[in-house]
Amino acid sequence: MTTSTEFLSDSPAATEAFAARWAQNLTPDAVLLLTGDLGAGKTTFIRGLAHGLGIAEPIRSPTFTLMHEYVIQQPPHLQGTPFFHIDLYRIETPAQLATLGLDEILERGGVVAIEWAERLRMANVSLRATHVYEVALTHSGETHRTVRIVEQCAG
Ligand SMILES: Nc1ncnc2c1ncn2[C@@H]1O[C@H](COP(=O)(O)OP(=O)(O)OP(=O)(O)O)[C@@H](O)[C@H]1O
Ligand SMILES: [Mg+2]
Protein backbone atom coordinates (compact mmCIF):
# COMPACT_ATOMS: atom_id res chain seq x y z
CA MET A 1 0.00 0.00 0.00
CA THR A 2 1.23 3.48 -0.79
CA THR A 3 0.25 6.47 1.28
CA SER A 4 0.86 9.96 -0.01
CA THR A 5 0.37 13.47 1.26
CA GLU A 6 0.52 16.75 -0.61
CA PHE A 7 0.76 20.23 0.83
CA LEU A 8 0.96 23.63 -0.87
CA SER A 9 3.01 25.96 1.30
CA ASP A 10 2.87 29.73 0.92
CA SER A 11 5.84 30.63 3.17
CA PRO A 12 8.92 29.14 4.84
CA ALA A 13 7.03 29.26 8.15
CA ALA A 14 4.17 27.25 6.62
CA THR A 15 6.61 24.63 5.35
CA GLU A 16 8.15 24.37 8.82
CA ALA A 17 4.79 24.13 10.55
CA PHE A 18 3.61 21.44 8.14
CA ALA A 19 6.82 19.42 8.71
CA ALA A 20 6.56 19.79 12.50
CA ARG A 21 3.02 18.47 12.44
CA TRP A 22 3.83 15.66 10.04
CA ALA A 23 6.78 14.60 12.24
CA GLN A 24 4.30 13.41 14.88
CA ASN A 25 3.51 10.42 12.60
CA LEU A 26 7.09 9.17 12.62
CA THR A 27 8.11 5.92 14.26
CA PRO A 28 11.61 4.54 14.95
CA ASP A 29 13.73 3.41 11.99
CA ALA A 30 12.42 5.95 9.48
CA VAL A 31 14.25 7.46 6.53
CA LEU A 32 13.19 10.56 4.64
CA LEU A 33 14.59 10.97 1.14
CA LEU A 34 14.37 14.67 0.28
CA THR A 35 14.60 15.77 -3.33
CA GLY A 36 14.20 19.10 -5.08
CA ASP A 37 16.17 21.91 -6.69
CA LEU A 38 18.45 24.38 -4.95
CA GLY A 39 16.31 26.48 -2.65
CA ALA A 40 13.28 24.21 -2.96
CA GLY A 41 13.00 24.11 0.82
CA LYS A 42 14.62 20.83 1.91
CA THR A 43 16.52 22.38 4.81
CA THR A 44 13.48 24.45 5.74
CA PHE A 45 11.36 21.29 5.88
CA ILE A 46 14.00 19.56 8.05
CA ARG A 47 14.14 22.57 10.37
CA GLY A 48 10.40 22.16 10.96
CA LEU A 49 10.77 18.42 11.34
CA ALA A 50 13.47 18.87 13.99
CA HIS A 51 11.29 21.39 15.79
CA GLY A 52 8.44 18.86 15.79
CA LEU A 53 10.84 16.32 17.29
CA GLY A 54 11.58 18.70 20.15
CA ILE A 55 15.14 19.46 19.04
CA ALA A 56 16.09 22.92 20.30
CA GLU A 57 19.49 23.33 18.60
CA PRO A 58 19.55 25.48 15.46
CA ILE A 59 19.43 23.37 12.31
CA ARG A 60 22.18 24.34 9.89
CA SER A 61 22.71 22.74 6.55
CA PRO A 62 25.43 20.07 6.79
CA THR A 63 26.66 20.86 3.29
CA PHE A 64 30.35 20.61 4.17
CA THR A 65 30.19 18.38 7.23
CA LEU A 66 27.74 16.08 5.39
CA MET A 67 25.99 15.00 8.60
CA HIS A 68 24.65 16.38 11.86
CA GLU A 69 23.32 14.28 14.73
CA TYR A 70 20.74 15.35 17.33
CA VAL A 71 18.75 13.65 20.08
CA ILE A 72 14.97 13.48 19.65
CA GLN A 73 13.00 14.81 22.64
CA GLN A 74 9.42 14.13 21.52
CA PRO A 75 6.99 12.51 20.83
CA PRO A 76 7.46 10.04 23.73
CA HIS A 77 7.79 6.97 21.51
CA LEU A 78 10.86 8.54 19.82
CA GLN A 79 12.42 10.25 22.82
CA GLY A 80 16.16 9.58 23.17
CA THR A 81 16.60 8.15 19.68
CA PRO A 82 18.94 9.89 17.22
CA PHE A 83 17.96 12.26 14.46
CA PHE A 84 20.42 12.52 11.58
CA HIS A 85 20.42 15.37 9.08
CA ILE A 86 22.47 14.39 6.05
CA ASP A 87 23.22 16.46 2.94
CA LEU A 88 24.56 14.58 -0.08
CA TYR A 89 24.97 17.64 -2.33
CA ARG A 90 28.75 17.29 -2.38
CA ILE A 91 28.77 13.55 -2.92
CA GLU A 92 29.99 12.76 -6.40
CA THR A 93 30.98 9.11 -6.39
CA PRO A 94 29.67 5.85 -4.90
CA ALA A 95 32.99 5.56 -3.00
CA GLN A 96 32.35 8.87 -1.23
CA LEU A 97 28.88 7.67 -0.38
CA ALA A 98 30.30 4.46 1.10
CA THR A 99 32.52 6.42 3.53
CA LEU A 100 29.42 7.94 5.13
CA GLY A 101 28.44 4.59 6.66
CA LEU A 102 24.74 4.97 6.00
CA ASP A 103 24.06 1.35 6.94
CA GLU A 104 25.50 1.86 10.44
CA ILE A 105 23.44 5.01 10.83
CA LEU A 106 20.27 3.17 9.87
CA GLU A 107 21.01 0.45 12.40
CA ARG A 108 20.67 3.01 15.18
CA GLY A 109 16.93 3.02 14.69
CA GLY A 110 16.18 6.72 14.82
CA VAL A 111 15.02 9.14 12.14
CA VAL A 112 17.28 9.94 9.19
CA ALA A 113 16.58 12.87 6.84
CA ILE A 114 18.67 13.01 3.68
CA GLU A 115 18.91 16.09 1.42
CA TRP A 116 19.83 15.52 -2.23
CA ALA A 117 18.65 11.91 -2.02
CA GLU A 118 18.94 11.89 -5.84
CA ARG A 119 22.61 11.04 -5.19
CA LEU A 120 21.59 7.68 -3.75
CA ARG A 121 19.76 6.76 -6.90
CA MET A 122 22.73 7.86 -8.99
CA ALA A 123 24.94 5.49 -7.00
CA ASN A 124 22.32 2.76 -7.10
CA VAL A 125 22.06 2.67 -3.32
CA SER A 126 18.75 1.69 -1.79
CA LEU A 127 18.25 2.08 1.93
CA ARG A 128 16.31 -0.37 4.00
CA ALA A 129 14.30 0.90 6.94
CA THR A 130 10.92 0.17 8.47
CA HIS A 131 9.55 3.32 6.86
CA VAL A 132 11.05 5.09 3.86
CA TYR A 133 9.41 8.35 2.77
CA GLU A 134 10.13 10.24 -0.41
CA VAL A 135 9.73 13.96 0.27
CA ALA A 136 9.73 15.92 -2.99
CA LEU A 137 9.81 19.71 -2.83
CA THR A 138 9.05 21.81 -5.88
CA HIS A 139 8.94 25.54 -6.57
CA SER A 140 5.38 26.69 -7.17
CA GLY A 141 6.19 30.40 -7.35
CA GLU A 142 8.42 32.82 -5.45
CA THR A 143 7.08 31.98 -2.00
CA HIS A 144 5.09 28.85 -2.78
CA ARG A 145 6.38 25.31 -2.58
CA THR A 146 4.61 22.00 -3.09
CA VAL A 147 5.58 19.30 -0.62
CA ARG A 148 4.71 15.78 -1.69
CA ILE A 149 5.38 12.87 0.64
CA VAL A 150 5.07 9.31 -0.58
CA GLU A 151 5.83 6.32 1.58
CA GLN A 152 7.76 3.62 -0.25
CA CYS A 153 6.24 0.18 -0.05
CA ALA A 154 8.11 -2.18 2.22
CA GLY A 155 9.71 -5.19 0.46
N1 LIG B 1 7.01 28.21 0.95
C2 LIG B 1 8.34 28.13 1.19
N3 LIG B 1 8.85 27.05 1.81
C4 LIG B 1 10.16 26.94 2.03
N5 LIG B 1 11.10 27.86 1.65
C6 LIG B 1 10.64 28.95 1.02
C7 LIG B 1 9.26 29.13 0.76
N8 LIG B 1 9.10 30.33 0.12
C9 LIG B 1 10.33 30.84 0.01
N10 LIG B 1 11.26 30.06 0.54
C11 LIG B 1 12.70 30.35 0.56
O12 LIG B 1 13.37 29.35 -0.22
C13 LIG B 1 14.61 29.04 0.38
C14 LIG B 1 14.63 27.58 0.76
O15 LIG B 1 15.91 27.30 1.24
P16 LIG B 1 16.36 25.88 1.78
O17 LIG B 1 17.75 26.06 2.28
O18 LIG B 1 15.33 25.33 2.68
O19 LIG B 1 16.35 25.03 0.43
P20 LIG B 1 17.12 23.67 0.10
O21 LIG B 1 16.20 22.88 -0.73
O22 LIG B 1 17.61 23.06 1.36
O23 LIG B 1 18.34 24.19 -0.77
P24 LIG B 1 19.75 23.49 -1.04
O25 LIG B 1 19.55 22.62 -2.24
O26 LIG B 1 20.65 24.63 -1.31
O27 LIG B 1 20.13 22.70 0.18
C28 LIG B 1 14.78 29.95 1.59
O29 LIG B 1 15.48 31.10 1.21
C30 LIG B 1 13.34 30.27 1.94
O31 LIG B 1 13.21 31.51 2.61
MG1 LIG C 1 19.51 22.46 2.00
User: Residue 58: which CATH number?
Assistant: 3.40.50.300
User: Which atom of ligand 1 is nearest the CA belonging to 46?
Assistant: 18
Q: Is the CB of 9 under 6 A from ligand 1?
A: yes
Residue 151 and residue 3 in contact, taking contact as beta carbons nearer than 8 Å: yes
Q: Is the CB of 8 under 6 A from ligand 1?
A: no
Query: Structurally, how many domains does the chain consist of?
Result: 1
**pLDDT at 29 (0 to 100):** 96
pLDDT digits (tens, 9 = 90+) for 39-55: 999 999 999 999 999 99
The boundaries of the domain holding residue 26 are: 4-151
**pLDDT at 2 (0 to 100):** 63
**pLDDT at 137 (0 to 100):** 98
Ligand 1 geometric centre to CA of 92 (Å): 23
Q: In what order do the strands lie in the sheet with 67-71?
A: 4-9, 145-151, 131-139, 30-35, 111-115, 82-87, 67-71
**pLDDT at 11 (0 to 100):** 98
- Name residues of the chain where pLDDT drops below 50: none
